[in-house]
Amino acid sequence: MRWPWLQALHQPEIISSWSLAQWEEAVRQTRRLRLLARLAESIADAGLLGALPEQAARLLQAERLTSAYRQRVVHWAATCIARTLGDLGAPLVLLKGSAYQAQRLPISAGRLPSDLDILVPRPALAKALADLKGEGWEEPELDQHDRRYYHEWSHEVPPMRHGSHPIELDLHHNILPPLGPVAIDMQTLLADCVPSNWAGWSVLSPCDQVLHSAAHLFFDSEPLERVRDLVDLDGLLRHHACVNEGFWPDLLLRAEQLRLIEPLLLACHFCSSWLDTPVPSSMHSRIRSAGLAHGLVRLLFSALLAPADLDRPRPIAQRVAAKLILWRYHLRRMPLRLLVPHLWHKWRAGHGGDVR
Amino acid sequence: MSAPAPTRRIGDCRPDELLERLSHGRLWLDYGATSVRLKSDSRALCQHLSKVYAQFPLVEEAPWADHHVSITCVGGWRRLFRPQADFSCDFQHPFAPFAADTALPLFEWGSNWLIGQRLAHLLLLHAGVLERDGLALVLPAIPGSGKSTLTAALSLRGWRLLSDEFGAFCPDRMRFVAMLKPVALKNQSINVIRSFAPEAPLGPAFPKTRKGTVAHLAADRDAVDRRLDWVRPGDVVIPRWVADASLKLEPLAPHVLFGALAFNAFNYQDSGSRGFDAVSHLTTVCSGWQLTYSRLDDAISALDRLWHGVRDQHEAPSGLRRESV
Amino acid sequence: MTVALRTPAGVRAIDLGPVWAVYSPLSGQTLILNTEAVAILEVLREEPGDLAHVCNSLAGDGQHDAGEIEARCHGAWKQLIDAGLLEPSAAVEGC
């Protein structure tokens, strides 16, 4: 198995045969891919914490504590925000990790959130912003171009911060940018939202959750080594298929409806081949018959998502694939007349300060 | 009950051999609470490490390091005009590159950053910690307090250094352990320590860093050899350097003590109730003091005297040793 | 405010003389509180209630009248809610 530490997320019992060197690699790789706490939780669930070498046990314990802290902070912020937006008169929707937390999904264990993603319907956005600012949430200082970008071309407002909450608040009005490859009618998704375990908050329906996660990964500008997103997708597919009769046909139908077939097929391909996610043969047939263009994109993502080996330079194929995907992202997101000034602005901003 | 004597020390290693090891990533630094494996192609860094980590064991092959750090000289045209060094850890480049001749401060600050983020199983106080008679003296770092100068001076006068920056406290054992990074002295502190102890093993001074001029004090052999010992908490002293002030040692109110430990720590919140319980314990078993001083020798004498009482109060045996792997 | 509040499970406190340090498992925050605020937490740990209920309990224990106590507790009330040291008594335990 190419990545035993990835396999261990689902089959933690394999750790009992690991040498110290294998442990060291597993800790380094999972940490940098933000999966160390997830690995620790899998091992804890399987009752295997006692089987760890001391050097690994310390670091896994540390990461579990950090994960628990971050999740506590997110939950608390969501509690306060539900109070703040209590009279918004519109649904409050949790997105991504916070949703998984609020639903207590298996993949909520071992997360390391640094922000809270929420969504309100577009008509309620102005009031939501005003209410949040009234309670101490602040928007960053933005120049004119960035302000215009957020207001006209983005699906979210600039990330907000609060003195008492050590996380960023990302307030969305859509799950995807309006000028992206696919425009989403949020009303359709809002109609199917379901309640969560956190008072005042709903979450997307199971199918929409999967499609959002897939689109978030496969439409992004920098999907480099985002294996963690695949692990999330694997978890979502396994869980929802298990508890929802007719999940797979509904998922396919919804993907057609929202024109998100491409990211769904990519998600199913990588989850089944790298994480052994049970995917019905009908999906495999769709993947196989998806055409040459899709096949090329799949090849690029294969190079891009595969975690690089440690202590060596990144494979050239990965660096090339990253550039190609970035170009594809920009070209599909904005018409050239908007793209060129936007990239120019970003380049100037990037070369004004410290290079990261 | 000392650690087995290591065969060789970094300071004993020939420069070309050390550079060979460093360039192949075969340099391991065990600080006690955590360990780093370092790789670098910087000749200057190699020389500086040899001074500032002189007493650390030269390990042939360590089976484990918590952090894997690379300091690489940035290539291309920059090599000629403005050579730079870049810090990375497992494909992460958390900082902008530094000037190549400040590779040591870059390594020290970068590894501090990693440590602060990754060790939530320990409560990392922002404090200097030293051991005497099996008990830990904790010096919380308040800006302008002169904590590093005092910590350095104490370490040169018979107190065993555990750490200048990170007071690493284990909430399970309720004990301190060393995080034995070299003491980073800034600006006037450097000259103060040079006058205080002309023989002190100070590394080179790096002017024009983001924190002014920085120099590092190498840990002595005893501190290195006993870095794995667990140490019971003794007392907490908040130092306050005030020019020309007369010496004063005043008790701290318990809530000030609690705040100086909890609200000044690197990762207090990360460990949730564990952190709260750990600070509560320290507040219960330690007395807190504020030490106002203008002369180092006076401060050290005052702490020496204080420690007689602290020792009696705690009826201290020697500290426990952590099992070696 | 007539919503009944309670002290969440897992709140930890240490007596530091004239003040207390108190930890909230909901927000992860640690606060330094005076004895009035801690008294509120103790009352609402026994039994959920609103501010009036707390003030009556405290007046019943000591020699001060409820009005005076209310004035002193009023400021602490919001601070405790904002810090996650009080929660609605109907709140479901989160994960």
Domain-by-domain residue ranges, chain B? 10-118, 123-314
**Domain residue limits, chain C:** 5-88
Q: Are residues A185 and A213 in the same domain?
A: no
Position A222 scores a pLDDT of 87
Q: Is the pLDDT of residue A43 over 90?
A: yes
Position B103 scores a pLDDT of 95
In chain B, whose CA is at the least distance from the CA of C20? Answer: B255
Question: Which of A165, A181, A204 delimits the end of a domain?
Answer: A204
Average pLDDT score over residue span A100-118: 96
Q: Is the pLDDT of residue A356 over 90?
A: no
What residues of chain A lie within 8 A of the CB of C29, using their CB?
Answer: 164
> C59-68: per-residue pLDDT in tens?
876 666 777 7
| CA distance linking residue A280 with residue A304, whole number of Å | 25
Q: Are residues A147 and A219 in the same domain?
A: no
Task: Mark yes or no for CB contact A310/B272 under 8 Å.
Answer: no
> What is the residue-averaged pLDDT of chain B?
93
Task: Mark yes or no for CB contact C26/A79 under 8 Å.
Answer: yes
Chains that touch A (3 or more CB pairs under 8 A): B, C
What residues of chain C lie within 8 A of the CB of A75, using their CB?
Answer: 26, 94-95
> What is the residue-averaged pLDDT of chain C?
86
Q: Are residues A241 and A218 in the same domain?
A: yes
Position A180 scores a pLDDT of 73
Task: Mark yes or no for CB contact A59/B118 under 8 Å.
Answer: yes
Position C56 scores a pLDDT of 85
Contacts of B133 (CB under 8 A, 6+ apart): B307, B311, B316
Average pLDDT score over residue span A90-113: 97
- pLDDT top residue among A239 and A182: A239
Task: Tell me if A301 is assigned to some domain.
Answer: yes
Kindly indicate the confidence band of residue C80, based on its pLDDT and cuts at 50, 70 and 90.
Answer: very high
Question: Which of A204, A228, A251 delimits the end of a domain?
Answer: A204
Q: Are residues A272 and A351 in the same domain?
A: yes
> A176-195: per-residue pLDDT in tens?
887 777 889 999 999 999 99
Position B2 scores a pLDDT of 63
Helix (H) or strand (E) segment spanning residue A55: helix A54-84
Range(s) of the domain holding residue A149: 87-204
In chain A, whose CA is at the least distance from the CA of C95? Answer: A104
By Cβ distance, the residue of B64, B66, B120 closest to A20 is B64
Task: Tell me if A310 is assigned to some domain.
Answer: yes
What residues of chain A lie within 8 A of the CB of B118, using their CB?
Answer: 31, 59, 62-63
Number of compact structural domains in chain A? 2
Position A122 scores a pLDDT of 94
By Cβ distance, the residue of A69, A76, A108 closest to C95 is A108
Q: Are residues A100 and A157 in the same domain?
A: yes
Burial class, B184, CB count within 10 angstroms (exposed 0-12 / middle 13-18 / buried 19+): buried
Where chain B has pLDDT below 50, the residues are 316, 318-325
CA atoms within a 13 Å half-sphere pointing along the CA-CB vector of B55: 18
Kindly indicate the confidence band of residue A341, based on its pLDDT and cuts at 50, 70 and 90.
Answer: confident
Question: What is the token pair recorded at A256?
Answer: 């057609």
By Cβ distance, the residue of C28, C82, C92 closest to A72 is C28
Contact A36, A6 (CB under 8 A): no
What residues of chain B lie within 8 A of the CB of A66, using their CB?
Answer: 120, 270
What is the pTM (predicted TM-score) of this model? 0.93
Instruction: Check CB contact of B65 with chain A, cutoff 8 Å.
Output: yes
Position C95 scores a pLDDT of 38
Position B77 scores a pLDDT of 74
What residues of chain C lie within 8 A of the CB of A197, using their CB?
Answer: 92, 94-95
Q: Are residues A165 and A274 in the same domain?
A: no
Q: Are residues A166 and A198 in the same domain?
A: yes
Kindly indicate the confidence band of residue C93, based on its pLDDT and cuts at 50, 70 and 90.
Answer: very low
Chain C residues contacting B via beta carbons under 8 Å: 10, 12, 14, 16-19, 21, 23, 25, 28-30, 32
Position A328 scores a pLDDT of 86
Position C94 scores a pLDDT of 45
Q: Is the pLDDT of residue C73 over 90?
A: no
The stretches of chain B forming alpha helices (DSSP H) are 15-23, 43-52, 78-81, 103-118, 147-155, 188-196, 221-225, 254-262, 273-285, 296-314
What residues of chain C lie within 8 A of the CB of A79, using their CB?
Answer: 26, 84, 94
Share of chain B above pLDDT 70, in %: 94
Question: Which of A188, A204, A220 delimits the end of a domain?
Answer: A204
Task: Mark yes or no for CB contact C92/A72 under 8 Å.
Answer: no
The DSSP annotation for C9-72 comes to TT-EEEE-SSEEEEE-TTT--EEEEEHHHHHHHHHHHHS-B-HHHHHHHHHHHSSS-HHHHHHH
Kindly indicate the confidence band of residue A349, based on its pLDDT and cuts at 50, 70 and 90.
Answer: confident
Task: Mark yes or no for CB contact C91/A101 under 8 Å.
Answer: no
Task: Mark yes or no for CB contact B268/C32 under 8 Å.
Answer: no
Instruction: Check CB contact of B277 with chain C, cutoff 8 Å.
Output: yes
> A203-232: per-residue pLDDT in tens?
999 999 999 999 999 998 889 999 999 999
Q: Is the pLDDT of residue A119 over 70?
A: yes
Average pLDDT score over residue span C66-87: 86
Instruction: Check CB contact of B293 with chain C, cutoff 8 Å.
Output: no
Strand residue runs (E) in A65-162: 93-94, 115-119, 160-162
Residue B136, helix vs strand vs coil: strand
Q: Are residues A260 and A331 in the same domain?
A: yes
Kindly indicate the confidence band of residue A164, based on its pLDDT and cuts at 50, 70 and 90.
Answer: very high
| CA distance linking residue A125 with residue B1, whole number of Å | 67
Q: Are residues A231 and A160 in the same domain?
A: no
Q: Rounded to whole angstroms, what are the CA distances from B150 to A163, A215, A256, B129, B182? A: 34, 56, 69, 11, 14
Instruction: Check CB contact of B294 with chain C, cutoff 8 Å.
Output: no
| CA distance linking residue B206 with residue B88, whole number of Å | 21
Out of 3.30.70, 1.20.272, 1.10.3210, 1.10.10, select the CATH number for domain C5-88.
1.10.10
Kindly indicate the confidence band of residue A31, based on its pLDDT and cuts at 50, 70 and 90.
Answer: very high
Q: Are residues A213 and A174 in the same domain?
A: no
Q: Are residues A260 and A286 in the same domain?
A: yes
What residues of chain C lie within 8 A of the CB of B276, using their CB?
Answer: 12, 14, 21, 23, 30
